[in-house]
A and B are shown apart, each in its own frame.
Chain A
Amino acid sequence: MLTRISGGEIVDPPNGRVGPGDLWIKDENIIEAPADGRADRTIDASGCVVMAGAIDIHSHIGGGNVNTARLLLPEQHAAHLRRPDGTPLSNAGWSTVETGRRYATMGFTTVIEPAMPPNAALHTHLELADIPIIDKGTLAILGNDDFLLSMIRDKASPDMIDDYVAWTVGSTRALGVKVINAGAAAAFKENVRTFSLDDVVPSYGVSSRRIVKTLQGAVERLGIPHPLHVHCNNLGVPGAADTAARTIAAAEGIPLHLAHLQFYGYGTEGKRKFSSAAASLAELVNASREVTIDVGQVMFGQTVTISADVMRQFAARGSAHPRKSVIHEADGNGGGIVPFRYRQDYYGALQWAVGLELFLLIEDPWRVFFTTDHPNGAPFTAYPKLFELLMSRDARNEAASLLPHSAMALSTLSTIGREYTFEEIAIMTRAAPAKLLGLEDRGHLGAGAIADVAVYRRDADIAKMLGRAALVFKNGDQVVTDGEVTHYRWGKALRLDPPKNPAMIRRLEEFYQQRYGLSLDWLAFPDSAIARDEPFGEVPCRA
């Protein structure tokens, strides 16, 4: 099948295409225009913006913690059924099926679940496999597990560390590695309640910084395309900007990705000792070429926080709304589920402003990524509104005018005139995520790319335009028409498969037998366990 999308405004910065033109799709891929110019079907896209399918690099869409949040909050889903416009969390689409549907209708075609506990990899992949239409990927969590901390304490060689990281990534079918409040979950087991970058994990004598640097080095040496994905210490704490700054400094020239930086953008000024430090953080990011960040924007309303930062979530239990939560401890990180409502009060307004400041003050759209840390800052269904805030100063000012002046006074937001262009949006939500994750086959509209294409009908209402794509193609299949899913298909989970050292497997077998009384076989599973055709797609490591 040869399809021609005709007359749209192509926005494909990586290939230097910005302007009216045609896009050609043959079966699953984008191709150069054929010499004879004949298509099996031609779609008129005049009046539309044509971009590659969007990629979300950090969205909690599947796995044990996400499912526990669903279990904890059945009323949110029920609320959605009765009042679809009034309850943002519910609009997230609480089931796997709804997750795929709602992402697709916004033109997103690849989404990364950023927190997979290695010992529960099968559960995560079962859920990801039940999300239709889009491709997925997931990051394996390391950095609080006894095996790694013991190796660091015992001064294991870099080769041994690499073997362990490679085994974890390969056996869990991950696309990268994430470290979450490095060492804090292990310290929490010893009744430690706060933990910072240079604090030391009891019983191991290993600092958080050393864990981060160890994993950063392993990821780099193994050629894992995505830099180590870091959830820093002290999330949400006033003054956390200092922790984030020290973590940025610790990158030391080697690629490092900092997740949901908004949650660290807090200073201690003002009578409430809670102010925006976004401007100084943005300046640091601008000056640190090896560092990328995603924002984790806060939007107002009910949501639920889902995190494997068990120490932080334990501390947040008192703020649960409604008043129920789940904290669980596991062999590595564990996690916590705490429902929360972001109010338009001083604190909520400041968090909202910090996120937008980061988006607007970090100059390079290749190094700042579009996330709400779904659902922690807001459900991903808030994306259309967030696009509007980034692309329209008037929309920002109007929203800010409804918020407490005391909060806005401690933020630079009102002084920022920048408005994102479609080119910058295409970079931030397509080309840059593909580059960051090592997905060369997507994020652009060049010949040979997978035909993941989003077509948006131009509208003065940006949220409306980007919230309901006119057309979406996934691997060449037309899956969305006029903002509605018209065809369901199953995507793949994208994974790396670095070589495994048999000696490490023997060592791990011994470890699991000794510590947990379990064979390593309990954690292993074949692809067929997912019970879908071709559930995985392999992404190569860098040479």
Chain B
Amino acid sequence: MSVAWIGDRETPFEQAAEKAAALLHASRCPLFTIDADTDGTRAAIGLAKLVGAAYDHPGGASLARETTLFTDQGGMFVTPGEARRRADVLVVVGALPDIHLSFLAELFTSPPDLPAVGQRRVFVIGNVSLPPGTDGLVEMLSCGGEAATLAALRAQCAGRKVATPVQNFDRFAEALAAARFPVFLFSGRASESPAIEMLQGLVSDLNRKSRAAALFLPASESGWGSTLASTWLTGFPMRTGFARGFPEYDPWRFDAARMIADGEADLHLHVSTWPDTAPANNDGIDFVALQHTDGPVAGAQVTIAVGEAGIDHDAVLYSSRTGTFAFKRAPAASSSPPAAAVLRAIAERVPGGAPDLC
């Protein structure tokens, strides 16, 4: 089976890897977008270091909002397991990605493991997609957008007056007064940074006298996993670059979409270990696609097909169900190579390059 293409022409893997390495070597400002398992991320960052590339996640905007919460503010969080066990009031803040809907349904319908607490109370803020059949379980909190609602909620919880009270605040206050562990669920996909910051302010306020926490459900599990791996490997999250030979983190400068749109990047290497389409706008720059694909990717000078993480090969992936990394065993052996192996094969072919520690 062919696994590599130069343009639209099938080619031996070695030749495609050579071509990719030559393009990387010739590039003055290479950019990687990484959507991979942990070992794939390791290998991609190793190659980025070797060729002086910057890297980001393909869904960089959501991930950047989530990362900014940690780099700029911090907060009070809880793991999904502990939320399932102890949360007696749930507040869903903003739309969550569909990947979290099954967990949401599980949370809505399972009782907390607390004495004398039956069903959880559920409130929502913003335009939230709910699991099928759960509409009747939730109560809406609203007085405008998410950030405005959270700000008003925070003010009202603190006993301050507001111009526009939050709809259903009394019911929320009553639930909160009886609650032992309210949990606020959010992701960076829909919620803007001010809303995320205001949410943390509310959680912090509540903890002055009682207990509360936020459950972070990332917009992209693989994106968050790559962020964590990048952080331990370089000290920095995604949107880091090696242009000067050492890692530099700059969430504006190394925004992949901006680098392509502004014509800064002269080569785009996209790694995706899932069925995916590459970012469309690669006009005018070299494009290398390492992707789970059956054929050449449109516009790519080089395409190398890689296995699907956890399906074609064993993989370690971030799981938002456990809030940490989990091992996923592939159901059957596959001839499709892991992205990590392909990336390391390219690194070995970069002229003058040496295998990096990653």
Q: Are B314 and A331 touching (Cβ within 8 A)?
A: no
Give complex CA distance A325, B73 in Å.
7
Give complex CA distance A334, B78 in Å.
8
Q: Which of B38, B74, B232 contacts A62 (CB 8 A)?
A: B232
Check if B326 is an interface residue, CB within 8 A of chain A: yes
B139-170 with Cβ < 8 A to chain A:
none
CB-CB under 8 A for A326 and B77, given A72-B70, A95-B234, A191-B210: yes
Give complex CA distance A189, B42 in Å.
36
Q: Are B38 and A522 touching (Cβ within 8 A)?
A: no
Give complex CA distance A331, B81 in Å.
7
Q: Which of A126, A329, A337 contacts B79 (CB 8 A)?
A: A329
| Max chain A C-beta neighbours (<10 A), residue from B73, B74, B113, B247 | B74
Check if B175 is an interface residue, CB within 8 A of chain A: no
Q: Are A331 and B82 touching (Cβ within 8 A)?
A: yes
CB-nearest residue of chain B to A120:
B324
Check if B211 is an interface residue, CB within 8 A of chain A: yes
Q: Which of A70, A146, A327 contacts B231 (CB 8 A)?
A: A70
Check if B76 is an interface residue, CB within 8 A of chain A: yes
CB distance from B66 to the nearest CB of A (A): 10
Give complex CA distance A324, B211 in Å.
19
Q: Are B86 and A122 touching (Cβ within 8 A)?
A: no
CB distance from B38 to the nearest CB of A (A): 6
CB distance from A57 to the nearest CB of B (A): 22
Give complex CA distance A518, B73 in Å.
31
Check if A123 is an interface residue, CB within 8 A of chain B: yes
Check if A377 is an interface residue, CB within 8 A of chain B: no
Give complex CA distance A114, B207 in Å.
28
A interface footprint on B100-135 (CB within 8 Å = 1, 0 otherwise) = 000000100010010100000000000000000000
Q: Give the interface SS of chain B, mostly helix, strand, loop or mixed.
A: mixed
* Chain B residue contacts of A97, Cβ below 8 A: 233, 357
Check if A330 is an interface residue, CB within 8 A of chain B: yes
CB distance from B90 to the nearest CB of A (A): 15
Give complex CA distance A94, B236 in Å.
9
Give the tally of cross-chain contacts (CB within 8 A): 154
Q: Which of B73, B113, B227 contacts A324 (CB 8 A)?
A: B73
Q: Are A189 and B211 touching (Cβ within 8 A)?
A: yes
Q: Are A74 and B78 touching (Cβ within 8 A)?
A: no
Check if B274 is an interface residue, CB within 8 A of chain A: no
Give complex CA distance A525, B310 in Å.
13
Q: Are A529 and B82 touching (Cβ within 8 A)?
A: no
A185-228 with Cβ < 8 A to chain B:
188-191, 203
Q: Are B75 and A119 touching (Cβ within 8 A)?
A: no
Check if A526 is an interface residue, CB within 8 A of chain B: yes
Q: Which of A98, A188, A314, A325 contacts B235 (CB 8 A)?
A: A98
Check if A67 is an interface residue, CB within 8 A of chain B: yes
Check if A401 is an interface residue, CB within 8 A of chain B: no
* Chain A residue contacts of B229, Cβ below 8 A: 126
* Chain A residue contacts of B357, Cβ below 8 A: 97, 130, 132, 488
B205-233 with Cβ < 8 A to chain A:
207, 210-211, 213, 227-229, 231-233
B311-350 with Cβ < 8 A to chain A:
314, 316, 319, 321-327, 340
Check if A507 is an interface residue, CB within 8 A of chain B: no
Check if A156 is an interface residue, CB within 8 A of chain B: no
CB distance from A511 to the nearest CB of B (A): 11
* Chain B residue contacts of A155, Cβ below 8 A: none
B interface footprint on A62-104 (CB within 8 Å = 1, 0 otherwise) = 1010111011111001100100000000000011111000000
* Chain B residue contacts of A516, Cβ below 8 A: 81, 84-85
* Chain A residue contacts of B94, Cβ below 8 A: none
Q: Are A130 and B207 touching (Cβ within 8 A)?
A: no
* Chain B residue contacts of A130, Cβ below 8 A: 42, 232-233, 357-358
* Chain B residue contacts of A191, Cβ below 8 A: 180, 210-211
Q: Are A531 and B39 touching (Cβ within 8 A)?
A: yes
Which bracket fits the contact residues of A?
Answer: 35 or more
* Chain A residue contacts of B322, Cβ below 8 A: 119, 518, 522-523
| Number of B positions contacting A (CB below 8 A) | 56
Q: Which of B84, B106, B110, B324 contacts A123 (CB 8 A)?
A: B324
CB-CB under 8 A for A126 and B38, given A327-B76, A331-B85, A517-B110: yes
Check if A328 is an interface residue, CB within 8 A of chain B: yes
| Max chain A C-beta neighbours (<10 A), residue from B70, B232, B323, B324 | B232
Q: Which of B39, B79, B247 contacts A328 (CB 8 A)?
A: B79
Q: Are B232 and A203 touching (Cβ within 8 A)?
A: no
B interface footprint on A247-259 (CB within 8 Å = 1, 0 otherwise) = 0000000000000
CB distance from B222 to the nearest CB of A (A): 15
Give complex CA distance A485, B128 in Å.
53
* Chain B residue contacts of A525, Cβ below 8 A: 316, 326-327
CB distance from B105 to the nearest CB of A (A): 11
Q: Are B314 and A529 touching (Cβ within 8 A)?
A: yes
Check if A127 is an interface residue, CB within 8 A of chain B: yes
* Chain A residue contacts of B76, Cβ below 8 A: 326-329
Q: Are A329 and B77 touching (Cβ within 8 A)?
A: yes
Check if A515 is an interface residue, CB within 8 A of chain B: yes
CB-nearest residue of chain B to A490:
B357
B interface footprint on A159-174 (CB within 8 Å = 1, 0 otherwise) = 0000000000000000
Give complex CA distance A98, B231 in Å.
12
CB-nearest residue of chain B to A132:
B357
* Chain A residue contacts of B277, Cβ below 8 A: none
Check if B71 is an interface residue, CB within 8 A of chain A: yes
CB distance from B188 to the nearest CB of A (A): 14
| Max chain B C-beta neighbours (<10 A), residue from A62, A64, A203, A488 | A64
26 contacts between A and B (CB under 8 A): A67-B231, A67-B232, A71-B237, A77-B247, A78-B249, A95-B234, A119-B79, A119-B322, A120-B325, A122-B324, A122-B325, A126-B229, A130-B42, A130-B358, A188-B211, A189-B181, A190-B180, A191-B211, A324-B73, A327-B77, A328-B213, A330-B79, A331-B81, A331-B85, A518-B81, A522-B326
Residues of A within 8 A of B (CB): 62, 64, 66-68, 70-74, 77-78, 81, 94-98, 119-120, 122-123, 126-127, 130, 132, 146, 188-191, 203, 314, 324-331, 334, 337, 488, 515-518, 522-526, 528-529, 531
Residues of B within 8 A of A (CB): 38-39, 42, 67, 70-79, 81-82, 84-86, 106, 110, 113, 115, 180-181, 207, 210-211, 213, 227-229, 231-237, 246-249, 314, 316, 319, 321-327, 340, 357-358
Q: Which A-B residue pairs are the 6 nearest by beta carbons?
A: A94-B235, A525-B327, A516-B81, A328-B77, A77-B235, A326-B74
